[in-house]
Structure 1
Amino acid sequence: MSRVRAKMFGLISEALSAWAVALFALVAGGLLTAALAFAAHAFYKQQLRQRFELLASERYSRIAERFEDQEQRLDGLRRFFTYSSDILPEEFDGYARPLLHRTQAYSWAPRVEADERDAFERRASTWLGRPYQIRDFDAQGLWQASPSRAFYYPVLYTQATRQHDQPYGLDLRSQPQRQDALDRATTPGSLAVSSPLDMIDVEPAYTRGLLIVAPVFTASAPSGPPAGYVMALLSMRQLIGEGLPTASDDNLVVRILDLSGSQSHETLYDSGNLSAPLPLTSSQLLHLADHHYQLDIRPSEAFLQANRSSAVFTVTLLGGLLSLLLSALLYSLFSQRQRALTLVEQRTAALRVSEQSLRETHNQLRSVLDAATQVAIIATSLRGVISTFNAGAQRMLGYSADEALGHLALEDLVQPDELRQRAHALSLRYGREITAGQAMFAETVQEGAGVPGEWTLVRKDGSHLLANMLVTAVLDEQGLWVGYLAICIDVTERRRVHEALAARDRLLEKLSAEVPGGIYQYRLDADGHSCFPYASAGLLDIYEVDLQLLRQDASKVFERIHPDDLDRVRRSVRESAVRLTPWREEYRVCLPRAGLRWVRGEATPEIGEEGCTLWHGYLTDISDLKRVEEELRALSVTDVLTGIHNRRYFQERLKVELERAQRDDLDLAVIMLDIDHFKCINDQFGHAVGDRVLRSLCQRIGHRLRRTDVFCRLGGEEFMVLCPGSNAEQARKLALELWQGVRGVPVEGVGRVTASFGVAGWRVGEGADALLLRADAGVYAAKQAGRDRVEAELP
């Protein structure tokens, strides 16, 4: 012991210099600080990515909404021409002018046959109040009369942000790009967008743009060639740029590419601001009519400036200071211990006196082993004759020490049939004859080489017990093999417990097979790997994935989840793991055989081994429940009698449109109508006829509305039309058309039915109740004035 020097903290020898210990602590602290700084930097990069993905997703949604809005407006203009005849320029201007939000122009080009050209040009000159001619451009880019063709599609009406020098009379078939768009829009309801082209008579900054065309068919010839085309001219700079932050303040760099080019992709829009040197990008597809465009989004310098962090510098500074303080502390502590080393060595001599006591303790330890009553310790000679038989062996086997020592061999305590079977198996294994007495010691070739095995032991009374027995070689001081040592532990009770657990597992499998859905245990390791340690047979129907594969890797489950729900499910799992809160989620799965299904899952998390998280829960198929919920939702917003929307849906849409009008500074108007003398109709003809009158009125009004208008029944004979994007005057014109449509056609069995209309346009700062109150006042004024009329907006 005088040669053994104590070690500080069990690691550092006292012989080391205090300076070396301090330097070691400083280096270790520096390494730890570097690791923390690296982790802080990685966390900062992760935050940057999350913030960028959130901004990119919001920008993509806004641009996609603007594309969809343009398609809806052009489709509304098409329906305006489809359900109307002989539309005058004033009517076209009144309908198209409110649609010019982020759009360069809307136009109408009817089909003109060759033999109708002269009459059409004279009629158009009269309508427009100016000379009109079907024309196109010559090779020098100058206007000229169009050459003779079988038919033409000349621009007749146009409503643009700049009304002077509009291309009236331009034959769309005279230019390849416009002709290509017409050729792709030849079926009812179709839309086509041209390749990028130079627009005529627009502001220089918006010259490059797109042309969207929609065919118009007459009711008399729905399967023939289009009666004309309605068009919209779009400039990506105007459509995308309006309402966005300036280039210096925008956190994103946005670029839109046209994918229609075979050689190269033309850039339709580029925000122009500088991109940040970050490895972040988002590329998604935008859909407009029948074309796809690529949207590329990158972070800008403004994004980088707004998201700078000093966490790495702070961690480095604090870590360095703490490392210095720790080094100084260890230097002081270790210096003091080294001064005490001499005193410790002086007292070491006193410990030698204890050496004899330790030897006596060793002998006592052997007595303690003999006193063990739960473990049988049996020592034998090389021939297997028992030489040591402790109290535990006597208690376990029923023999006294006198009966066993020198009289019994170890093989006498083992069931003979089992011993013969193992001897036969070992003989085949080693290729030579192994006797029954050698079978117990055949695998023990050196100290510590024995492996525990289960043996059936025979008690003195002839009963049997199952024991786990380890047989090892006993060596003397010279390393010679002098015998064997067998340690036996009674495992009869453990075997019974294992069998009970196996029976419980079988019962669990039977019960889980009867439970709707599946019961599972889900494990998420710290490195991100996940699996299902337990999964009942029901999970095979839920995910259609082999259960053996799930016990190794759970990634196949996430591949089955619908892409729109995948991020939400992963996020909820992470939140449940971090907070240890129950996980509950409803999501869709796409299965190879069953198709799209809805799944509901619940689980409770707990901390497992090695830092993993374990969830215990169940999954069940709720597709039928979801289908019933959707049907109930549709019924809750639909008027059963007329089939149009009810009061509840109107109130929801009115709230949404009011928020949009306030946010984007848009127009909004409502039209309220009340059937005149409806109580008399019910009293005179019966409620069945009254119901037919309500349905007939809804059918006539529904055909005259735009796609964006919302038609609802408030109750009884009161109806409401919500007109997003229209002011009070435009709503009044629409109300006049509806009034004519209602009174112009008699109802079978009743005759002419009339209605009183009230109009109200939304005013800045006005709420829903005030807007509806003014529309109701208009209806009341119309009734007071004699009914069967449209009352304009009241002051």
Structure 2
Amino acid sequence: MMPFRKSALKASDVTLCILVCLAGVAVTSLVLILYHGSEQRTVAVAFQLEVDERFSRLQRRFTVQDLKLDTVRRFFINADDVTEKEFMGFVTPLVEEGETYGWVPRILEQDLQVFHTKALLNGTSDFAYHEINPITGAEAPLTRRPEHMVLLYLSKRDDVKVTPGMDVLARPDREALLKKARETHQMVVSQPLKMSNGQAGVFFVAPVFKESSEAPVNDESLQGFIVSTIRLASLMEQGIPLPSLQRLNVTLSLIDTQHQEDNIYQSLSPAAPSPLNAQRLLKVADQNYLMRFRPTSTFLSANSHASFISLIAVFGTGLTLLMTLMVYLLITQRARALSLVEERTQDLRLLNITDHLTGVYNRRHFEELMERLLIEANDQYQPLSLIMFDVDHFKRINDSWGHQCGDNVLKALCTRIRSATRKADLLCRTGGEEFALICPGSELHDTKRLAEKLRAVVSALPFEEAGQVTCSFGVAAWMPSESFDAFMRRADSAMYSAKSKGRDQVQLANV
């Protein structure tokens, strides 16, 4: 009996060792599988956050570029005759590295000599009519045309070899772009082009039509074009920290019927082998761009937890402790990831709907709010009013005290307006110095009183540095079944009526 018992005990010990070993192997394998899956999800969340942040920066960069060009366009609309000194004084602060801004007026063939004399009297240097042969790149005399689009002023930061007097219509691609902007009355963007410094870039064109309350805007009121060239590398990389540039591989593709997803920009950091990828659609003026994002080896290294996997495999004998620690790590990592996702989501949403300078709602969110409120007003038979206003002589403030002072005036103005309105009223910045105040549930006479109150609040006390500042207000009440565009036009027309009647006053829109 004894030998059998000894043999049985040994067998049970072996069995227990095997069971413990198998249990340890099973639990360790399960922990490794769970951790690996969690790591992949965490890395995926971190990648999406990195992509969202980069895309938000790039979207804002393109939007700022659009706004700057529109600001220069409005400068020419509101000015009667702009000299080279005035142009440089206004545009130079806007020009960043890799950018150029130019003014291309429309000149009839019979007015060439008169315009040449006027340009020299205005101080334009090295002004001589010429055009560039699109094949050889050499200068040539002007070709006779009914009209010419001649580069008059140019502000640049890079060594761009362009002289005043060049007829832009000599190049077929530029002529087609100007024609498109002229016909649509909208800003347009060129196909990718090779700039004079050899780098890839794009060409922005914004038509300038002389606005008049007496006659509608038509082709004959075209004054010229604001043009701008921008290096793609500057648009895609300027202002982004170097560590962020090294974590993502970014490609930019132009989407149209002729060039389906041609890559026009490729970041320097190469993509690493990984299933992670993302893409975003970006619309700039009349062009659609596709951005693709892939992680680099720098990103994968920064988000790798291979050492933890090795640690779990080495210390597999402490399965219970490792299980407890693993659960704790999984819970805390998931909580941190979700918290970060929520925080970044809120930040990105706030960034997308607010104006970065004043903190009020931006134009895009203004249009979204109006679309929703118009539907609610129509369904619930509720009144809805709109106040459009802008700062009087804002260009004079910028010219006299500088753009920083102008920015401070806009911020202080929004603070005053907010202090005098209801919580339900929605303040939005719709342009450079233009604002809109949406007043849900407010009748026309109540809104007019509010506008008069706001006018007094703005003009009552002087602004720091700029002194007394006034605003012109236009007030409109929504009429049932009226479209958003019609509603906006009435309020906008009322505001321009206030400006034309002496400024610093409130005008009601026509019914």
Q: Using structure 2 for the length normalisation, give the TM-score.
A: 0.62
State the alpha-carbon separation in 2 of the partners of residues 161 and 120 from structure 1.
27
Q: Please tell me whether the aligned partners of residues 247 and 297 of structure 2 are also in contact (alpha carbons under 8 angstroms).
A: yes
Q: Summarize the Cα distance change of 1:710–1:668 in structure 2 as closer, same or farther, 3 Å threshold.
A: farther
1:235 aligns with 2:231: yes
Q: Look up the match of 1:63.
A: 58
State the alpha-carbon separation in 1 of the partners of residues 161 and 247 from structure 2.
39
State the alpha-carbon separation in 2 of the partners of residues 16 and 257 from structure 1.
69
1:298 aligns with 2:287: no
1:216 aligns with 2:213: no
Q: Look up the match of 2:93.
A: 98
- Give the letter for the 2:163 counterpart: P
Q: Among 232, 241, 245, which residue is 2:241 paired with? A: 245
- What SS class does the counterpart of residue 137 from structure 2 fall into? coil
State the alpha-carbon separation in 2 of the partners of residues 747 and 297 from structure 1.
50
Unaligned runs of 5+ in 2: 1-7, 323-340, 347-370, 392-402, 411-428, 436-453, 473-497, 505-511
Cα distance, 1:289 vs structure 2: 0.7
Q: Please tell me whether the aligned partners of residues 257 and 265 of structure 1 are also in contact (alpha carbons under 8 angstroms).
A: yes
1:707 aligns with 2:449: no
- What SS class does the counterpart of residue 177 from structure 2 fall into? helix
- What SS class does the counterpart of residue 166 from structure 2 fall into? coil
State the alpha-carbon separation in 1 of the partners of residues 178 and 80 from structure 2.
22
Q: Among 717, 727, 733, which residue is 2:459 paired with? A: 717
Q: Summarize the Cα distance change of 1:209–1:289 in structure 2 as closer, same or farther, 3 Å threshold.
A: same
State the alpha-carbon separation in 2 of the partners of residues 165 and 141 from structure 1.
12
- Give the letter for the 1:708 counterpart: G
Q: Please tell me whether the aligned partners of residues 287 and 293 of structure 1 are also in contact (alpha carbons under 8 angstroms).
A: yes
Q: Look up the match of 2:425.
A: none
State the alpha-carbon separation in 1 of the partners of residues 376 and 259 from structure 2.
50
Q: Among 192, 195, 199, which residue is 1:199 paired with? A: 195
1:78 aligns with 2:70: no
- Give the letter for the 1:93 counterpart: M
Matched ranges for 1:482-561 at <5 A: none
Q: Give the fraction of aligned pairs with identical amino acids, expressed as a percent.
A: 24
Q: Look up the match of 2:414.
A: none
1:43 aligns with 2:35: no
Q: Look up the match of 1:141.
A: 137
Q: Please tell me whether the aligned partners of residues 27 and 319 of structure 2 are also in contact (alpha carbons under 8 angstroms).
A: no
Cα distance, 1:243 vs structure 2: 1.5
1:284 aligns with 2:280: yes
Cα distance, 1:122 vs structure 2: 3.1
State the alpha-carbon separation in 1 of the partners of residues 176 and 312 from structure 2.
63
Cα distance, 1:170 vs structure 2: 2.2
Q: CA deviation digits over 1:146-174, x for unaligned, max 9?
A: 21122111111111114774332222222
Cα distance, 1:183 vs structure 2: 2.1
Q: CA deviation digits over 1:503-541, x for unaligned, max 9?
A: xxxxxxxxxxxxxxxxxxxxxxxxxxxxxxxxxxxxxxx
Cα distance, 1:60 vs structure 2: 0.5
Taking only aligned residues, the RMSD between alpha carbons, in angstroms, comes to 4.4
Q: Look up the match of 2:310.
A: 313
- What SS class does the counterpart of residue 302 from structure 1 fall into? helix
Q: Among 112, 119, 138, which residue is 1:117 paired with? A: 112
- Give the letter for the 1:209 counterpart: G
1:273 aligns with 2:269: yes
Aligned residues: 373
- What SS class does the counterpart of residue 91 from structure 1 fall into? helix
Q: Summarize the Cα distance change of 1:192–1:249 in structure 2 as closer, same or farther, 3 Å threshold.
A: closer
- What SS class does the counterpart of residue 185 from structure 1 fall into? helix
State the alpha-carbon separation in 1 of the partners of residues 73 and 432 from structure 2.
13
Cα distance, 1:179 vs structure 2: 1.8
State the alpha-carbon separation in 2 of the partners of residues 720 and 147 from structure 1.
55
Cα distance, 1:131 vs structure 2: 3.8
Q: Among 649, 665, 669, which residue is 2:406 paired with? A: 669
- Give the letter for the 2:226 counterpart: V
State the alpha-carbon separation in 2 of the partners of residues 294 and 671 from structure 1.
36
**Structure with greater Cα Rg:** 1
1:644 aligns with 2:381: no
Matched ranges for 1:442-453 at <5 A: none
Matched ranges for 1:623-638 at <5 A: none
State the alpha-carbon separation in 1 of the partners of residues 12 and 300 from structure 2.
49
- Give the letter for the 1:644 counterpart: F
Q: Summarize the Cα distance change of 1:69–1:15 in structure 2 as closer, same or farther, 3 Å threshold.
A: same
Q: CA deviation digits over 1:61-82, x for unaligned, max 9?
A: 1101111111111111111111
State the alpha-carbon separation in 2 of the partners of residues 117 and 706 from structure 1.
38
Q: Please tell me whether the aligned partners of residues 172 and 179 of structure 1 are also in contact (alpha carbons under 8 angstroms).
A: yes
Q: Summarize the Cα distance change of 1:261–1:50 in structure 2 as closer, same or farther, 3 Å threshold.
A: same
1:108 aligns with 2:103: yes
Which is richer in helix? 2
Cα distance, 1:228 vs structure 2: 0.8
Q: CA deviation digits over 1:72-107, x for unaligned, max 9?
A: 111111111112212111111111112113551111
Cα distance, 1:263 vs structure 2: 5.1
- Give the letter for the 1:277 counterpart: P
Cα distance, 1:318 vs structure 2: 3.3
Q: Summarize the Cα distance change of 1:160–1:747 in structure 2 as closer, same or farther, 3 Å threshold.
A: closer
State the alpha-carbon separation in 2 of the partners of residues 227 and 46 from structure 1.
56
Q: CA deviation digits over 1:203-255, x for unaligned, max 9?
A: 45xx3211111111123561124221111111111122112222796321222
Q: Please tell me whether the aligned partners of residues 126 and 163 of structure 2 are also in contact (alpha carbons under 8 angstroms).
A: no
1:185 aligns with 2:181: yes
State the alpha-carbon separation in 1 of the partners of residues 460 and 27 from structure 2.
75
